[in-house]
A and B are shown apart, each in its own frame.
Chain A
């Protein structure tokens, strides 16, 4: 593992046991997260992104099983930890203090029958901080960081606060133990557009101030454009493209990424210029032998059906795509810093 990498996921695969058979919801996901980096994991629902994220703290549901792969974490003391082999107590300590996993449902993320203060207190106590005063100081500090008033919020019960407030409290709480990695699953999905703006700004601000590494899962490309340093796109349980944010938006090399980008409606676009990706995702129980995107891919050739490609390095540094036709994609897309939709409009 490179010295600058704080979290490394290698060839992770997760199956869900169902009556129909094992559902391969995560198949071969690999990525490295560097210190202080923001990584966006982009994919449709069913792409396996949440399943993968939840496995980073081993909170997958009972029916899910990690079948292969490694999750390696580098502590602040430069020790490499194999997350999959952590014991119960070590795992409990690892959670939240090393890697904080913030779920999408902030609406119901808090115990409804105890106050917000008690929940902060619980978090502190669980990780060995017995002094209530210190916990209180820390909570005050964090709540102010997310622009909330500590006195009012700490005394309240969850149902007395709005969704946006609860999301911010959860983010504040996630930073309580100064984790090196914060994982946010769909941080803005359940919120209205104004609150979304606030949360995105807040996240950017916190990152600049505190310097943690951030992974966020989303289907929303625009949030990636605002916050991410690097992006990975996931499709049918596997990573199909890994690139810097600039590369992905201006110089994608996988047809799925291109499709995603083209599907985003532009404010300045003409009526009727919105496109979408035809077809639907594959059945994760009975997967085709070749590339799983092939049925919907405009670049497909007969060879695509034969075998699923590995992640191939493309013509740009630190950029991989799981496509044997990446050169053709590159030719179509080019390398200039112009938005994809404009290029598409120009081409047609």
Chain B
């Protein structure tokens, strides 16, 4: 995983932390220098690129679904191409008679207005409402897993660096690296197979879904407990597959920070260990991890599909799989877009957080007098 976010690269830092000034900085001057504006611009560009990609995938490439659908309808019902095209238009929300660039433009304008079309299966159900039903569960499971693995991983990594080459370090580092090398779907499968089927420790079938039908939603202990019960497996899978990376990254960042002069000077100043660990070592070591957090959010959300499929958890990933099975292209498109938007937002948040934590970024700084 790369170690810097787009904002950092614009501010001029590469993976090694060295400043390399890009020409864009000089091009646009003042406004461009604000991290927020740059991050937003990049985010919008990314969303634009992704939506264009999905548009072309679905419409343009040979063997694309729209043409297939038209041919299929013609073969099945014998209507004319024009009529089939009309049907397809309605279904795919595309004006097939219009020239291609017009279709693309319409597509974009609708997108900006938040209109993602209707699901092919349930006629009249807007894609947005389908997404809203499934999105929260993915966010909940992935978010919890990411957060937990980050917090625990960072602490373990810090300790592993402090007690370098101890049994703790060897154990934590090796277990961490082994577990994080295993693809998440394999971990999920192993859970189901061993804890569920073989050893019957967990009630796998009952843990499917996001909540038990009988319990009413709300901030009640019963509901929250139920949600956690159902979410436990996916969260655990995310936790296990991610924690290794945090442990190793934090360990190496901490080891590098421990060698910095300001740590030795802090000791010479007689500062207490606790203060040195938190404000001098911790706050510096964690900086590269903040940006990694954002990038990993993208990977985890993307890979959530496998986990949700195997554990039968009704998130966006599972819905995407179903949409693929059912050839529900608008829903597929919508899910990819919403995932992109979430990742872009996560990146922006991480960039903002980073620029708060590291005073060397985003200030008109430099040596003075």
Contact (Cβ within 8 A) B261 A108: yes
A129 to chain B, nearest CB (A): 12
* A122 contact set on B, CB distance < 8 A: 266, 269, 271, 275, 279
Decide: A59 and B270 in contact? CB cutoff 8 A.
Answer: no
Pull 30 A–B residue pairs with CB atoms less than 8 Å apart, ordered by A.
Answer: A59-B264, A92-B272, A95-B270, A97-B270, A100-B268, A102-B268, A103-B261, A103-B265, A107-B261, A108-B261, A108-B262, A109-B265, A110-B265, A111-B266, A111-B280, A112-B262, A112-B360, A113-B358, A114-B279, A114-B283, A122-B275, A122-B279, A125-B275, A126-B269, A126-B270, A126-B271, A126-B275, A157-B363, A159-B367, A160-B363
Tell yes or no: A101 within 8 A of B by CB: yes
Q: Assuming A160-B365, A160-B366, what are 11 further A-B pairs, CB within 8 angstroms? A: A92-B270, A94-B270, A96-B269, A96-B270, A109-B262, A109-B265, A111-B266, A125-B275, A159-B367, A161-B368, A165-B369
Chain B 249-261 interface mask (CB, 8 Å, partner A; 1/0) = 0000000000011
Q: Does A227 contact B (CB under 8 A)?
A: no
> Contacting A93 at CB < 8 Å: which of B261, B270, B358?
B270
In the A-B complex, list the 4 residue pairs whose CB atoms are closest, starting with the nearest. A95-B270, A108-B261, A105-B261, A96-B270
Residue of A100, A109, A163 ringed by the most chain B CB atoms within 10 A? A109
**Chain B residues, CB < 8 A from A173:** 269
Expressed in whole angstroms, the minimum distance between the Cβ of A228 and any Cβ of chain B is 22
The answer to whether A103 touches B268, judged by C-beta atoms less than 8 angstroms apart, is yes
Interface residues of A in 106-141 (CB under 8 A from B): 107-114, 118, 122-123, 125-127
- Smallest beta-carbon distance B123→chain A, Å: 56
Q: In the assembled complex, how far is the CB of residue B281 from the closest CB belonging to chain A, in whole angstroms?
A: 9
Q: In whole angstroms, what is the CA distance A112 to B279 when docked? A: 10
CA distance A69 to B235 in the complex (A): 58
A123 contacts B271, C-beta separation under 8 Å: yes
With contacts A112-B360, A157-B360, A160-B366 taken as known, whether A126 is within 8 angstroms of B272 at the C-beta atoms is: yes
Instruction: Give the bracket for the number of chain A residues in contact with chain B.
Output: 35 or more
**A324 on the B face (CB < 8 A):** no
A162 contacts partner chain B, Cβ-Cβ < 8 Å: yes
The answer for the CA separation of A95 and B265 in the assembled complex, in Å, is 10
Does B99 sit within 8 A of A, measured CB to CB? no
Interface residue? B110 (CB, 8 A) = no
- In the bound complex, what is the Cα–Cα distance between A137 and B368 (angstroms)? 25
Determine the interface band of chain B, counting residues with CB < 8 A from chain A. 20 to 34
**A103 CA / B266 CA spacing, docked (Å):** 11
Task: Knowing A114-B279, A159-B365, A160-B366 are in contact, say whether A123-B261 is a contact too (CB < 8 A).
Answer: no
Quick check: is A333 within 8 A (CB to CB) of the other chain?
no
For the complex, what is the distance from the CA of A59 to the CA of B263, rounded to whole Å?
Answer: 11
Give Cα A280–Cα B358 distance, bound, in whole angstroms.
45
B268 contacts A59, C-beta separation under 8 Å = yes
In whole angstroms, what is the CA distance A127 to B358 when docked? 27
Write out, one digit per residue, whether chain B residues 277-302 have a CB within 8 A of any chain A CB (1) or not (0): 00110011001000000000000000
Query: What 0/1 readout, one digit per residue, does chain A (23-37) give for beta carbons within 8 Å of chain B?
Result: 000000000000000
- When distances are taken between beta carbons in the complex, the residues of chain B under 8 Å from A172 are none
**Complex Cα–Cα for A97 and B264 (A):** 16
B280 cross-chain contacts in A, Cβ below 8 A: 111
Q: Is the CB of A101 within 8 A of B359?
A: no
Asked whether, in the complex, the Cβ of B262 is within 8 Å of the Cβ of A157, the reply is no
> B267 on the interface (CB 8 Å rule)?
yes
Q: Which residue of B lies closest to A95 (CB)?
A: B270
Complex alpha-carbon distance, A110 and B363, angstroms: 18
Binary CB contact string for chain B from 339 to 369 against chain A (1 if under 8 A, 0 otherwise) = 0000000000000000001111001011111
Residues of A within 8 A of B365 (CB): 157, 159-160
| A239 interface residue per 8 A CB criterion | no
Taking a contact as CB atoms closer than 8 A, the residue among B261, B264, B272, B357 that contacts A113 in the complex is B357
CB-CB contacts below 8 Å: A266-290 with B: none
Q: In whole angstroms, how far apart are the Cα atoms of A170 and B269 in the complex?
A: 10
Q: Specify which chain B residues have a CB less than 8 angstroms from the CB of A126 in the assembled complex.
A: 269-272, 275
* A95 and B262 contact, CB distance less than 8 A: no
A93 to B260, CA, bound (A): 22
A95, B357: Cβ atoms closer than 8 Å: no
Q: Are B368 and A162 in contact (CB under 8 A)?
A: yes
A57 near B: Cβ within 8 Å? Answer: yes
- How far does the Cβ of B196 sit from chain A's closest Cβ, in whole Å? 46
Whole-angstrom CA separation of A109 from B271 in the bound complex: 14
User: Within the assembled complex, what's the spacing in Å between the Cα atoms of A114 and B262?
Assistant: 12
* Bound Cα distance from A93 to B271, whole angstroms: 9
Q: Which of B264, B275, B279, B283 has the most CB of A within 10 A?
A: B264
Question: Which chain B residue has the least Cβ–Cβ distance from A152?
Answer: B368
Nearest B residue to A177 by beta-carbon distance?
B270
Q: Is the pair A112, B268 in contact by a Cβ cutoff of 8 Å? A: no
Q: Using Cβ atoms and an 8 Å threshold, which residues of chain B touch A105?
A: 261
